[in-house]
Every structure is written in structure tokens, then in C-alpha cells.
Structure 1
């Protein structure tokens, strides 16, 4: 492995990309300590570090929410904007056409996502200022409100730009890596709390070891889920063009068990944050009851979380994988699945197999995300990583390693994964 790392470091372009990504991580962590002016942070810290949805947001943001810094809203408005655009592509033909136009169409859609991110960030910042943190504002007034709202909105816009710069000039998906960095940043504090509980006798070492083995098993299972695929054999017939013979080889269509990656988990988390967040802004018995029922870790919230992950896995896979289009491409190049006629029978077969594969992936993904929540409720232990955080960490790590591998393989170096 050291030889592989040395090989990667010797490639100038790859070394530059890795250093750029690490530099952006430093910028992200520095920004996570720049406070929003005019806020009494002490009044907010306990609430945002609690075992609720805001505590989950605080973990994703690397503690930026509990310290109420300019990155307090994290990248959540961008994720919500992406969800909205994905849904609109299904119902608006013009957006669907743009999505199929390749790089140029995606650039236009990404521009719409940026605009929508700023709008959602401004709305969220306004709601937080006049609702959630109003009591913590030191000098309430028009200028204070404007300063807080624009600071939070600018922080989210800067994070969005930071993520795009990492994607373009660094290694991996920038937005995913920012979330990854935020979760990893919470590890030292969580470990310190765990060691303190062991020291004072609130938690036994055996319990911590058992939790550690449980999370190790989850990591192995997540890797298997991410790497697993169902291979559909495809045979290409021979074609004679002039004096040359083309085709005749056998290959396969890889159908990944977890085609959607960590996207369904992030989407489900973002959707479930809306009702309790809105309920916090209206001081009424009904809204308070809604916030309690849908609080993070509650039975109803966990059930909805499980169901939303399955739904978004099916939805995102349907957007990314079109059996009709795949079957047409195979037919166009003279290929066929043994025992099936090209065209509609092939598309129906692919759809049937894909639905079964997705079911396994969706249920497994939902189980991984919800099991640590149930475990935390049963054992009353403050776990360092949630299932969602673990899925994001492992998924983003594998994705980044694959990108490094692609750079190594292009230059005839051996990769990490064999």
C-alpha cells in the first residue's frame, strides 16, 4: 500500500489535486469557526448539540451549527435544491430534455440549482433568524437581522462554490467531501465524550468494544453493498466491415446493488428535517406536539426515515438507469442477452432484474441507516457516528479511492482495489 501511495504522489497532476482538496478542507474548517456577528452562542449550544434533528445537522456541519458560525446551515440548502431539481426533471419535459443533452444540459441544470440554493438559503436563514434564534440575538433590530441573514446565506453559497472547486480541481465529489469532512471533524469530540463516560464509570469498556465491533461489521457490510453488482451477460454478434471483422465477444451489463449510493440517505434526512424545523418556529401546542412526534430518533421518525430511503433509492435509480435506453443501445451495437430477443423483451427483463436488485439494496441501505438509531435509543449511548454518517464516510471514501485509481491506471500504475 505504501508503494501505491508513493506512486500516486509521484504523479504531479494527482499530487496537485490531492493537495488542493486538503487545502479546501482547511478552508472549510477555518470557516466553521468564524462566528455570525450579534449572536449569544451560549444560549444555542446545548440545544443544537442535543439528540434531535438539529444535533444531526450539527454533526454534518462539523459543529458549525452549535457554534453558530457562517457555515451553520451547512450545505443543506444545496441538497434540497438538488432534490427539487431531480423531482422537476420528472414532471417538466424541458428539464428532462436538458438532462439528456449531456454536459451542456447538465451545466444549465447546475446553474438553476445554484440559483435555487441561494433562494432556499435566504429563506432558511430568514426563518432561523426570526424564529429559532431570535431569543439569542444580542441587539435585536433591522441591521442585526440583515447581517445575520446575509452572513448565513453567504456561508452556504461559499460552501457550494467550495464543493464545485473540489469537484473541478481536486479529487472526488466536492459536495460529498464537504459533508464527509464535517462528519469526520466531529470524531475527536465524540471520542472524548466516550472516554470521559468510561472514566467516570457511566459506560463499560466491554460495551464500547461491542459497539466498535458492531460498527466494524457495518463498515464491511456497507463496502459489500457498495461494491456488489448483478452482471447481465451480453453477446455481440460478428459484423464484417470491409476486410475487418467486428464484434463476436461476450461482455456484461453491471447492475449495482446500491445504484444510488448515499444520495437516498441524504435526501431522506433533508426531507424529514422540514416538519420539525418549521414546527420550531411556531409556538403552538399542535406544532410542539408535531416536533416531538417527528423528533430525530423517535419511532415515527425512524419508520419514515426507513421508508423514505427505500423510496428515494427507487426514485434515484429510475432517474439514472433507463432499461429501454440500455436495451436500445445494446441492440444498436448488435448485442443481445442470451435467450432473449433484442428490444422490448430485453428492456422488460432488465427492468424486472433491476427491481429485484434495487429492493435488496434499498432495504439494506435503510437498515444500515436506522440500526444505529435504534441501538442508541436502546443502550442510551452517545454513538460517535450514526448509520447515516457511516454510510456517507464509507461511500465517499470508496468513490474518492476509485477516482485516484483511475488516475493511476491511466498511467499504468496498480490501484488500491484489485
Structure 2
């Protein structure tokens, strides 16, 4: 409590926090501004009557994580920051195959700003493409006011593109003048905003009579214990790291000796963060949709029927493939992001080395082998977190939209972003000679 009071005693830190909160409030207010030409009541009625177990419904529920709402909220901020994230991932992957982008990544802060500029430009066409797909889905529901289809499509594309670009600008303002990562905070705000609905939905299903029709006392206790255990495990894996010892070379200048200190290189166990689940979930959306579309042309095909049952959400085959792709993308992401040869080169140029290893190839091979080993445990934890909502939903009969708060992408984002914000606030406290939040030591963020 004392640390929390000290936060608001520091004017600079207080202003940053209030500025961040104000922009997040603007985001949530703007999220309720509807797109012109669409009947919101008709959209909610159509969405409420759809099959929640269909592949399209599952894909829409997954997109809610990044858009901050549901399909029945056809607003100017309906796309959220998903186009910006898509553009960032595209440029990140292109950096591995396009030499000019790879060179920019090696130029430090100047190159980073240039890549950010390219990301903004790429976000615009991505916004247009995603808004067209979004509006086509709504148009197929018959929710456009009569005689306004062309105007609704035009204004919807322009409005959603402008809304996403405005959210991108809000995120950049938070990065510069607020606390934490702006885009991550916007995503987290959308996830947390749905939590009261999930809690209310769970409360409405509680049954204390023991009739077995709803959520009994035993199930409720299990859900609470499981939620706390998953949150604790997520915090643990977000902060877990393998420290490689590092020895700095000694320098003699005149009669004095400099350097020679010992430090370490922190290698995160969960090096990919939430991205392996994001990639695996995105990839697993398409096979059920493709099979479902083919069954409309060949409804009597037994092969398509078996494939549809195998790829159904909750099926054993689906979850095994889901976990497998999480492992694949976890190693893929670490391979893209972690460059042991560059690390070894930088260590050699700075006169530092890992004790017992020669600088250069030996050091790079050792760092790569260590990273591959610890990444296995990070990928295993991500796979376990990803399937917990499915297990809870099917074994306990809980609404999937409620069980999703027990694991998966949403929980990882909330925990990681919260740790990062707390770490940055604590850094501000320590900089002004105040105590941090923990007397045992500094809180480590998800990105430190």
C-alpha cells in the first residue's frame, strides 16, 4: 500500500499513469460508436441465433482477443489493433528473407523507427482487406438497412480503417508519454472488458441444489483453484530464465585495470511469448473452415464427415494437432528472433566470453543448444495452457467463452502485459529513491 501511495506522489509517474488510463477510456468509449448503415439490433439477433460450435463462430471468438469485442459490436473500432499486429508480423518475417529490412534491424534505433514507418504504411492495406472481409460476413446476415448496402460497405471500410489507424496512434502515444506498451495495453483492455460478462455468465450457471444441471460447488471450487494455479504458472514461466555466465575482458590503462567483471546472459524459457499460440490458433482456424465449406458441396461424403469430426473443437485429433503446431511455431519463433551467431560476434567484439568456451563458433553453438533445450519446456507449458479451456469446457460442461479465461492467448497477454506495466512503474519508483512493490527484490517484467 505504501508503494502504491508513493506512485501518486511522483508527479511524472502520476501523469504517465493518468494519461494512459485516459487514452484507454477513449478507446473503450469509441468502441461503442457503430458503423453507418448497419442495424445493430439485427446484428445482435443474428449473432445470437448462430451455431456457436461452427468453425466460423470459433474463428470469430478467436478474433475477439485482438479486436476487443464481438461480431455483434460492428463499430468503428471493430478491427481493433489486429491489422497493426498483422503488419508487424509480416515485416518481422520479411526481415529474415529481405536483406534491406534485415540491415535496418541491425541499425539500432534509427532502423527501428524506419521499420515502424513501414509498419504504419502496411497497416492501411491490411485494414482495408480485413474490413472488407468483416463487412462481407455482416452483409451475408442481411443486417444492412434497406437501400443502403453500397453506402454501408463504403462507409464501413473507411470507418474501420480510420478507427484502426486511430488505435495505432493511441498505442504510439502511450508508448511515448504513458506507461507500458500501448498496443499490448489496448489488447489487454479489450480482454479485461469482457471479464465481468464471463463472471456474470458463470454466476448464472451456479447450482447449489446438487441437481447436476449447472455448476456445482465442487466445480466452482475447482475453477477457482485452477484459475489461480494457471495465473501463478503463467507468471512463473513468463519470468523464468536460464542465465549463462559471462566474463568481461580486463583492460589496463596506465597503472589502472578496468573491466574483468562477471555478469550473465538471460535466456527466457518462454522465448516466443504468446506468439506460438497466436500462430497455431490462426493456422488451426482454416482446416475446419475448409472442410465445412467442402461439405456444403458434398454433404454425403464420408471422408469429409470423418475429417469434420476429427477437426471439431474439442476432438482429440484437433487438440493433438494444436499442441504439435504450438511446439513447431515455438521453435520457429525462437529461430527467427534469437540469433546466436550475432550474439557470439558481439561478445567477441566487446572482449567478453563465456567461461570455458572459445569465442566465435563454439560460443554460438553452445548458446543455440541451450536455447533449444529450454525452449522445449516453454513450448510444453504453452501447449498445456492452450488446451486447458477445452478440457474445462468439455469435462465440466462450462461455457467455452467462460473457460477461455482459464488459459490460452488471452490469459498470457493479460499476465505478460500486467507484469511489464508493474515493472516499469517500479523502475520509476526506484529512480526517485522510493521502495519498490516487493521487499524481496525488483519485480521482473515479461520482457526483461
Q: CA deviation at 1:154?
A: 1.9
**What does residue range 143-158 of structure 1 map to in structure 2 within 5 Å?**
143-158=151-166
**What does residue range 210-359 of structure 1 map to in structure 2 within 5 Å?**
210-273=222-285, 284-285=296-297, 297=314, 299-359=316-376
2:65, 2:187 within 8 Å by CA — same for their partners in 1?
no
Show the counterpart of 1:67.
73
Counterpart of 1:233 in 2: which secondary structure?
A: strand
Separation (CA, whole Å) in 1 of partners of 2:175 and 2:428 = 15
2:330, 2:379 within 8 Å by CA — same for their partners in 1?
yes
**Cα-to-partner distance string for 1:136-183 (whole Å, 9 max, x where unaligned):** 212253222211222222222222222222112111111111111111
1:171, 1:404 within 8 Å by CA — same for their partners in 2?
yes
Counterpart of 1:230 in 2: which secondary structure?
A: strand
Picking from 169, 175, 197, the partner of 1:167 is: 175
Question: Please, which runs of 5 or more residues in structure 1 have no aligned partner?
Answer: none
2:249, 2:260 within 8 Å by CA — same for their partners in 1?
yes
Counterpart of 2:358 in 1: which secondary structure?
A: coil
Q: Which moved more, 1:164-173 or 1:317-326?
A: 317-326
Q: CA deviation at 1:77?
A: 1.7
CA RMSD of aligned residues (A): 2.7
TM-score (norm 2): 0.85
Task: State how many pairs are aligned.
Answer: 417
2:274, 2:413 within 8 Å by CA — same for their partners in 1?
yes
Q: Which moved more, 1:99-108 or 1:265-274?
A: 265-274
Q: Which moved more, 1:286-295 or 1:313-322?
A: 286-295
**Cα-to-partner distance string for 1:285-306 (whole Å, 9 max, x where unaligned):** 4799888875655555534432
**What does residue range 370-389 of structure 1 map to in structure 2 within 5 Å?**
370-382=387-399, 383=402, 385=405, 386-389=407-410
Matched, 1:399 2:399: no
Q: CA deviation at 1:82?
A: 1.7
Separation (CA, whole Å) in 2 of partners of 1:416 and 1:73 = 36
Matched, 1:202 2:211: no
TM-score (norm 1): 0.91
Picking from 431, 444, 448, the partner of 1:410 is: 431
Q: CA deviation at 1:226?
A: 0.9
Q: CA deviation at 1:378?
A: 2.5
Show the counterpart of 2:150.
142
Q: 1:326 to 1:58 in 2, by over 3 A?
A: closer
Question: Please, which runs of 5 or more residues in structure 2 have no aligned partner?
Answer: 442-448
